[in-house]
Amino acid sequence: MLLLYSCSRYKTGDNPEPENKYVYGLTPFPMRITLELFGCFVILASLLTLVKSTYWWIRVLDFPRVQVAIMGVLVLGLYGWFFGFELLSQKIFAGLLVLAILNEAVHVYKFTPFVRVQALRSKIKAPKNSFGIMISNVRTSNTRYNRFLKVVRETDPDLLLINEPDHKWAEAISELDERYPYCIKEPLDNTYGMMFYSKFKLVHQEIRYLVEEGIPSFYMIIELPTGKKFDLFTVHPQPPHLHKDTDTREAELLTVAKMAKESPYASIVVGDLNDVAWSYTTNLFRKISGLLDPRIGRGFYNTYNAFVPFFRYSLDHIFYDPAFRLIRMKRLPFFGSDHYPIFVRLNYEPLEADDHDIPEPSEEEQEDAEELINNLEVDPTPTATQSSAQKSTEEKLS
């Protein structure tokens, strides 16, 4: 009630507005109402994210934190300039706006250069266990196959993950089979297809459906030319949208987090998580898995939406074990998809792992993770399935 009161009250005739306070044709009264409505949206959009819920209409507000903060600053500045904060209701309105802005800023702050990096860089000048990973959501409806192949040729990654390929995409980029001797393919027409290419030997591989039918994920053990091995998980859960809450997304991500934590190998998790780097779920994933986020202390590296510059978020991720060191990370050029590709080069340096500040979950966070997983009764040892593409890859190994 207090929020509604502060967002609807305006000055009476005892405090007449100066006649020169017009903006784009708005008189003071409708201008104030407009600013108060935008302010109420900022306050609600920010504070609702504090609710631990998987409802889609709450979790979707995790995405535009930067945009909501910018809107809040603009509303606060314009309202103060034109109308001031003399009345108690105006002071309450301003206070709630400040709280909302601070809440948004706290969540995104660690992805700025003002914070100490979490993932340390390699100091080795000629690393022997280095490799490059390219992650790309190609967008099923995108038909600019040649532009994508050009980006792949120019980047020349050792490992390549493709999200959203259908059978047309699989056929159009089949020339990659000559460049990459190992692959796992699960092209689908539901925008959740997945393909993985590797220059290195895949000593073990699985196609898993961890939570939902039609939503695959991959698991593999990769052997570097030096004989060193690590395992890699790929994911692409569904995003929050109308009539689709995030319980399945959370369950899949946290299940993979536990698998990575329990793995005897140094693990890497890559994919389009359909979640932003600063959300509670992504932070929980990072702490449960013990993996590092190279974005922390470096920048957002936003990959989506390539078509709308103001509304861009970090949806395509790579998290890796402290046994790896970062060599290079960059966003790759636009090729027609609504996602930019992202490229990361790492070096395997297990002896330097202890130099990292490894994230750890609190007892409450561990309970939250178990609850989110158990709500869907996820099998921690899922049965793998094989596609024809995977079988043909295994024939190469034999």
Per-residue confidence in pLDDT tens, the chain, 398 aa:
344 344 444 444 444 444 444 444 455 778 899 999 999 999 999 999 999 999 999 999 999 999 999 999 999 999 999 999 999 999 999 999 999 999 999 999 999 999 999 999 999 988 999 999 999 999 999 999 999 999 999 999 999 999 999 999 999 999 999 999 999 999 999 999 999 999 999 999 999 999 999 999 999 999 999 999 999 999 999 999 998 999 999 999 999 999 999 999 999 999 999 999 999 999 999 999 999 999 999 999 999 999 999 999 999 999 999 999 999 999 999 999 999 999 999 999 999 999 999 889 999 999 999 999 988 765 545 545 554 444 444 444 44
pLDDT at 27: 56
Amino acid symbol at 260: A
How far apart CA 229 and CA 226 sit, in angstroms, is 9
Domain 130-397: CATH architecture, name and number where available: 4-Layer Sandwich (3.60)
| SS3 (DSSP) at 320 | strand
CB atoms within 10 A of CB 386: 14
231: its two tokens? 């395992």
pLDDT at 379: 53
Contact (Cβ atoms closer than 8 angstroms) between residue 60 and residue 244? no
3-state SS of 333-374 is CCCCCCECCEEEEEEECHHHHHHCCCCCCCHHHHHHHHHHHH
Q: In the chain, what are the domain boundaries?
A: 2-111, 130-397
288: its two tokens? 């449960």
